[in-house]
Amino acid sequence: DSLPNENALREVMEYIRTRTRNHTKIAIREIKARFRKAPYGFLDVDTEWLIAKAFMDGLIEFTLNGNSVSLLNETPERIGEYIIKKAYGDKLLIEEKEVIPERYIRSLRNIGKEVFKIPVMPEDTDAMVLRFNEYAEGMVQQLNTLLQEYRVGDYPGQDILKDGVGLIYRTIGMNKSIDVYKYVHEHEDEYLDFIDDFPYIKAFFEGTQKSIWEKTQEYIEIFDESSAYILSEELESITDRMKAILKMSRPYNFIKELPELNERFSRIYSEILDKELAPILVEIQNAKTRVLAEVEKNGLEDIFEGRFRRAFKDLEKKAEACNNVAKINGFRLEADKLKIRFLNEITEELQKRAREQAEKLQVDKSKPSEVEIVKPIKKKRNISIRDINIAHSWQIETIEDIDRYLTALRKRLEQEIEENTIINIEF
């Protein structure tokens, strides 16, 4: 039985091959009609079996409505329907399949092994492409998952992953095996270049390198914000090296330097921070002492002392927790503003009490003998010297310089004077 089948298959293939050489695709209906006649006398079911075998053996390829039909885009069951059902008799076109050059097959096997780690490749060329694209799809999903990391952080390797997705995804959408083979062969070096880089990127996110990288980014940001307040050649040198590594397109062999650089940065910066913090804490303490002395002097402990103490304690904790030299200097101004605000609260409370006392001293008009003259209550305003001294520093070389600064200060003070108001300047 096998010999007649082989002969029949040879006859069908010779006819398809001749038509293909003439650049003509044949409808399956035409093939059935030809081999139904003498001298062949094939039943349609026989011809259908021969065509199916030729297809599965990789000898022919199908086109349906202008689109390639293969195991890459259709199930075997669906392809069987195309062969058997009369509705596809004129739509399913057949031609001899282009032979895949051996060098193309070697390229695809090589990339399958080196890039996708495919353990075993099928011998059939179509099945080989199917297996190749299954692994390609898995790799694309893996790359897209890693690319999500870049939505929340600035890490190395993003361009390599994006290019990798573009490179690998192309074969997944191809309907003809020969197109896949050609593409892989033509881009073999690009696949191999990608797989040289990819393990480093994968290890970056799966290991400790990512957290080390983020710590370095944090230190660089802190340094850039504080550089105007820092005079340290060693710290600047450390930061320059950090920046150089973070700017590399492939920094993976140099990330091992970052832990030591991070540790040195942290130690030196902490020493600078401690020096900057000490006078700030003194100013916060002085502001607190000044305010609480005013509270005690006026007997207002029950109203203000607890709240004022907590506010200064919170400010002190915030200053101690700050890890940025540039930001820590802001606590100096914050302490001054807190002092002025609390002094104004004390003043308002005292003025309220004075008004209440004055109302009690209002004399009943029917008792003129008891009339007591009540002096008008003067308002009181507390102002920080920082708010009225426009020049934050005075550079004096001559007596005229002194006069100039004092004149400017006097004009500023005169602008603050209000009728029936006491101005209290806090230094």
On whether residue 269 sits in a domain, the answer given is no
Kindly report the average pLDDT of the chain as a whole number: 89
Instruction: Give the closest residue to 377 by CA, choosing from 419, 417, 327.
Output: 419
**What span, in angstroms and rounded, lies between the C-alpha atoms of 90 and 98?**
22
Higher pLDDT among residues 251 and 373, named by residue: 251
Residue 215 lies in a domain: no
Residue 132 and residue 66 in one domain: no
Residues ≥6 apart with Cβ < 8 Å to 122: 128, 130, 131
Q: Are 144 and 184 contained in the same domain?
A: yes
Residue 68 lies in a domain: yes
Judged against a pLDDT cut of 80, whether residue 384 lies above it is answered with no
Helix axes of 209-226 and 188-206: crossing angle, nearest 10 degrees: 80
Centre a 10 Å sphere on the Cβ of residue 308 and count the other Cβ atoms it contains.
23
- What is the spatial distance between Cα 52 and Cα 48, in angstroms, rounded to a whole number? 6
Q: Is 280 within the bounds of a domain?
A: no
Q: Are residues 106 and 189 in the same domain?
A: yes
Give the tens place of pLDDT for each residue, 164-180: 999 999 999 888 889 99
| 141, 66: one domain | no
pLDDT at 2 over 70: no
Q: Are 74 and 108 contained in the same domain?
A: no
Q: What are phi and psi of 373, to 5 degrees?
A: -75, 125
pLDDT tens, position by position, 127-149: 899 999 999 999 999 999 999 99
Q: Are 118 and 92 in a shared domain?
A: no
Domain count, the chain: 3
Are 51 and 66 found together in one domain?
A: yes
Of the residues 172, 206, 240, the one at which a domain ends? 206
Residue reference for tokens 């509270």: 295
Print the domain residue range for 111: 102-206
Asked if 7 and 89 sit in the same domain, the reply is yes
324: phi > 0 → left, psi -120 to 50 → alpha, else beta; which?
beta
Residue 125 lies in a domain: yes
Q: Is the pLDDT of residue 209 over 80?
A: yes
pLDDT score at 420:
62
Average pLDDT over residues 46-57: 92
The listed range with the strongest mean pLDDT (64-73, 203-212, 404-413) is 203-212
Domain boundary among 68, 96, 124: 96
Is residue 363 predicted with pLDDT exceeding 70? Answer: no
> What confidence score (pLDDT) does residue 365 get?
42
Pairing assessment for the beta strands 421-426 and 379-384 based on DSSP bridges: parallel
Q: What percent of the chain shows pLDDT beyond 70? A: 91
Q: How far apart are CA 167 and CA 142, in angstroms?
A: 14
422 and 389 within one domain: yes
Is residue 92 located within the same domain as residue 121? no
What pLDDT is recorded for position 426? Answer: 66
pLDDT, tens digit, for every residue of 260-314? Answer: 999 999 999 999 999 999 999 999 999 999 999 999 999 999 999 999 999 999 9
Q: Which residue in this structure is represented by tokens 């804490």?
A: 281
- Whether 225 is covered by a domain: the verdict is no
Mean pLDDT in residue range 74-82: 92
Band (123; pLDDT cuts 50, 70, 90): confident
Longest CA–CA span in the chain (Å) reads 150
Query: Residue range 335-342: average pLDDT?
Result: 93
Does residue 223 form part of some domain?
Answer: no
The DSSP element (H or E) to which 422 belongs, if any, is strand 421-426
Q: pTM (2 decimals)?
A: 0.68
Last residue of a domain, one of 62, 96, 130: 96
Return the pLDDT at 127.
Answer: 87
| Residue 162 domain-assigned (yes or no) | yes
- Examine the pLDDT at 376 and tell me if it is beyond 90: no
Q: What is the pLDDT of residues 302-332, one digit of tens each?
A: 999 999 999 999 999 999 999 888 889 889 9
Same domain, 92 and 17: yes
**Confidence (pLDDT) at 373:** 53
Q: DSSP per residue over 338-384, as a string?
A: HHHHHHHHHHHHHHHHHHHHHHHTPPPTT-GGG--PPPPPPEEEEEE
